[in-house]
Amino acid sequence: MYTIILGGGKIGFSLSKWLLALKHEITIIETSLSKCEKIENDLGNIVLHGDGTDPTILESSGISRAINFISTTKNDPVNLISCQVVREHFNVKNIFSIVNQKENSELFKNLGINNTLQIDKIITDELKNIMHDNKISPVSTLYSETGNSILSITIGPENFIANKKVTEIDLPNGSFLSLIIPLSGEPFIPQAESIIEPGHKIIIVTKTTQEQALLNSI
């Protein structure tokens, strides 16, 4: 699966690193030469220097065969324009964007960019995780839209499900474990006898209304 990510900052870099671990093909479009050099040194030759709102640059990235386009810059106008250009001129199945200012969310939706994630929600979720009574290990919201969420959860020894088989895990209705990413080795789809070990990162799909119940269950 081919994904193009606009922005090589913290969010774009982390997302790219995760997708590369899943064996996805990635191109990052970044305007800063210094960031381009860092990405190339850390992740390999997956970065294109240029303006992601420019159709010529987007064409150079191979967007005609991309399945996903994700805009992650700190500049909402850039995110919005790039998503509009991709939506109107290229046949990309999935278009996602970070929204840095909460008040801009409605503008994105009114202009047809429905798959958005607000920065303040990401920060709030992270604080909830840190302050959670059960000391849940780090949780990241990878996607949240249309009543569904995809969560990335790093399992620690204090988690209820640590060292348990998948068949022993009782998740809330509408939730399922879709991927296990070990500390070393290849990510894999969990089987009934797979054991969730401390240090594993797990990817769980759940109903948005069940997120807290899910966190309590693990």
**16-75: per-residue pLDDT in tens?**
888 888 788 999 999 999 999 999 999 999 999 999 999 999 999 999 999 899 999 989
- For the sheet with 148-154, list strands across it: 139-145, 148-154, 201-207, 176-181
pLDDT at res. 125: 56
**What is the mean pLDDT for each group of 10 consecutive residues in the chain (218 residues)?**
91 86 90 94 94 94 92 90 90 85 80 71 53 52 76 86 92 89 87 92 88 83
CATH numbers and ranges of domains, the chain: 2-118 (3.40.50.720), 132-217 (3.30.70.1450)
